[in-house]
Chain A
Amino acid sequence: MRRRRFLFAGDSAAGQPAQEEAAIDTLLQGLRQAVHLILSLDPEVLEIAGLSLRVSGTALAISVLLGVPLGAALGLRRFTGWSFLRLMLYTGMGLPPVVVGLFVYILLSRNGPLGALNAALIPRLFTPAAMITAQTLIIFPIVTGFTMAALLGVDPLLRQQLLSLGATPWQATLTLLVEARAGIAAAVAAGLGRALAEVGAVMMVGGNIAGETRVLTTAIVLETSKGNFDVAIALGLILLAMALVINFVILQLEERFFRPL
Chain B
Amino acid sequence: MSEAIFRLRNLRKEYQRRLVLDISYLEIYRGEILVVVGPNGSGKSTLLRLLNFLEPATSGEIEFMGHSIPPGAPVGLHLRRQVTMVFQQPALLNRSVLANVSYGRKVRGMPAQNGAMTRLLERLGLASLAGSHAPNLSGGERQRVALARALAFQPAVLLLDEPTANLDPYNVSLIEGLIRDLNREQGTTMVLVTHNVFQARRLGHRVAFLLNGQVVEIAPAEQFFTAPQDARTRAFLNGELVW
Contacts and interface: CB of A to CB of B under 8 A. Distances in A.
A189 to B, nearest CB: 19
Contact of A162 (B49, B80, B103): B103
A163 interface: yes
Given A155-B91, A161-B90, A175-B93, A166 B104 contact: yes
Contacts of B73: none
A164 B85 contact: yes
A157 B142 CA distance: 14
B150 interface: yes
Nearest to A171: B107
Interface in A138-187: 155, 157-158, 160-168, 171, 175, 179
Contacts of B80: 166
A157 B91 contact: yes
- Interface of B: prevailing SS: mixed
Contact of A164 (B77, B84, B106): B84
A261 interface: yes
A203 to B, nearest CB: 42
B211 to A, nearest CB: 25
Contact of A158 (B49, B91, B108): B91
Nearest to B87: A161
Max chain B Cβ within 10 angstroms of own Cβ: one of A160, A165, A171: A165
Interface in A243-261: 261
A212 B106 CA distance: 51
Nearest to B82: A166
Interface in B27-73: 49, 52, 54
Contacts of B91: 155, 157-158, 161
Contacts of B52: 164
Contacts of B54: 160, 163-164
B104 A165 contact: yes
Given A160-B54, A175-B93, A179-B94, A166 B87 contact: no
Contacts of B84: 164-166
Chain B contact patch, size range: 20 to 34
A184 to B, nearest CB: 13
B201 interface: no
Contacts of A165: 84, 103-104, 107, 149-150, 153
B81 interface: yes
Nearest to B159: A164
B52 to A, nearest CB: 5
B89 interface: yes
B22 to A, nearest CB: 23
Contacts of B149: 165
A170 B153 CA distance: 20
Given A160-B54, A171-B107, A166 B81 contact: yes
A236 to B, nearest CB: 37
B97 to A, nearest CB: 15
Contact of B107 (A155, A167, A179): A167
B55 to A, nearest CB: 9
B49 to A, nearest CB: 8
A168 B87 contact: no
Interface in A109-134: none
A168 B52 CA distance: 14
A163 B103 CA distance: 11
A168 B90 contact: no
Nearest to A163: B54
B89 A166 contact: no
A168 B89 CA distance: 21
B87 A157 contact: yes
Contacts of A157: 87, 89, 91
Contacts of B104: 165-166
Contacts of A179: 93-94
A166 B94 contact: no
A261 B150 CA distance: 17
A144 to B, nearest CB: 23
A175 B149 CA distance: 15
16 contacts: A158-B93, A160-B49, A160-B87, A161-B87, A161-B90, A162-B103, A163-B54, A164-B83, A165-B84, A166-B81, A166-B84, A167-B103, A168-B77, A171-B107, A175-B103, A179-B94
Given A162-B107, A163-B54, A165-B104, 5 more contacts: A161-B85, A161-B91, A166-B81, A167-B103, A171-B107
